A and B are shown apart, each in its own frame.
Chain A
């Protein structure tokens, strides 16, 4: 899949030559540069981001004891979008250039990414502050997230209302999640964060299983529910924040992917966490590849595709019920 994903796009490279290039044999300099600078980072970013969003989603669903838990539920994605809008409109990082292929380049992507990241963390911080005051209760966290979500969405709309045409385009463009944005350094940071998070979550899978059995049962099994909930939240939020800041808003994967895995293998976190990580990566890679092919040579934002592909699949799974 990875090879296929790299081989297709505006320029098609034969799969065997992709493999050769990746194994270190230079087939042609042109393809070398396409593969190493564009296709490979993009494909890897899709895998890492999908895995990260999905694992963050599955853990949030468990610790918040809410099937709607995902990086969106807590307002993190919307906070990132607001941060990007703020950076573009107020800080003026978004003078854009329109090229013939309709690609839009944000003038100062680093500033935008940084501000988006800061706002993601801010949203997380506010939720932590609220849960510190009111106790780390799942319903408090979920409701605080919903409130923050609406607040940041309204804030983004407010900024968009006063933005000029190019700024508006830049904001909207940023909001469409796209895995083609990363460079190698960003990819390394993302991979590091996601990898550490996945290891941490897997190490804690028994604790999440215990929380799934109810707070009281978990406590009677010696699990410090509040602490696990808080730390899990922070790490899941951090993963989401990094991904959202680098790639923009990629919906759906974090919410639906864990549920797809649940429908097939059940609720046991020992299998659910690795399963969601895997499927998340695969799903986003497939979506990204499809996004490049569907209206080729134009490239659709992957976030549009994830919803188009995932929603019907999910509804099918919902109707079919659990596997016996």
Chain B
């Protein structure tokens, strides 16, 4: 068990956002945090590396209690990829090198440079090395952010909607990279997602949040049309296309429109 969360509670201005969240993750696993907008997915993610400060509960990572660790120690265990990546006038190499911050004492060493180099190779983005990050595409920028979190050499990777601003090809590419890294390096990844189909395809386990609580938690077996309707308030159909499980909304609006069209059309 690489990460375990117990009874996690988070308050924002005395309003309870997260209530007794509990789950655990093994290494080599990708966990998707799902649920409607505003349910606290990102908040939960930020609580996991103490960008936000949970009110109560316990987080154990690799056998250590997160609340006993300093910010630099946490940064050496957990990498984080924010939803929006800031750009600036610096090269991709320097932007990724920043990820070594938790390991740098006074100045960068040969080792830091070697690790950055290897991550550039791993993500096959050597060509980007000297490009300025304010001139590269959204997909490339996302890769830079992922590379930055990887050079931290984390045990757990947190990703906040890693594919939200990417086109289809880049979505698949980024998620496949994460899948590969998590398996090869025996780390774990937790990502918040909106796309149920992407989650089904790349995640091992799923946590559905509703009303600040874990509504469902488990492998692919927990994803049923009833559960999804409970969480999102929208009827769905679950089927298979080319051997892949897919969730498609069965929207009441559409049913309505069908009826209206029938009425409007002279029979």
Contact = CB atoms under 8 A, between A and B. Distances in A.
Nearest to A216: B82
Nearest to A217: B82
For the complex, would chain B's binding face be called helix, strand, loop or mixed by DSSP majority? mixed
Contact of B90 (A210, A222, A266): A266
B220 to A, nearest CB: 30
A214 interface: yes
A223 B88 contact: no
Given A213-B86, A216-B46, A221 B51 contact: no
Interface of A: 206-207, 209-210, 212-214, 216-217, 219-224, 262, 266-268, 322
Q: Which 5 pairs across A and B sit closest by C-beta, in order of nearness?
A: A222-B75, A220-B80, A222-B72, A267-B89, A214-B86
B102 interface: yes
A221 B152 contact: yes
A67 B129 CA distance: 26
B119 interface: no
A234 B49 CA distance: 28
B71 A223 contact: yes
B125 interface: no
A221 B90 CA distance: 18
Contacts of B149: 220
Contact of A216 (B74, B80, B91, B101): B80
Contacts of A207: 101
Contacts of A222: 70-76, 101-102
B94 to A, nearest CB: 5
Nearest to A270: B94
A224 B71 contact: yes
B76 A214 contact: no
A100 B152 CA distance: 68
Nearest to A65: B86
Interface string B97-129: 011011010000000000000000000000000
Q: Which of B49, B50, B79, B88 has the largest count of A CB atoms less than 10 A from its CB?
A: B88
A223 B101 contact: yes
Contacts of A266: 88-91, 132
A192 B81 CA distance: 41
B206 to A, nearest CB: 24
Nearest to B95: A213
Contacts of A268: 90, 94
A222 B82 CA distance: 14
Contacts of B145: 217
B88 A213 contact: yes
Q: Which of A220, A224, A267 has the largest count of B CB atoms less than 10 A from its CB?
A: A220
11 contacts: A210-B101, A213-B88, A213-B98, A216-B82, A221-B75, A221-B98, A221-B152, A222-B75, A223-B101, A267-B90, A268-B94
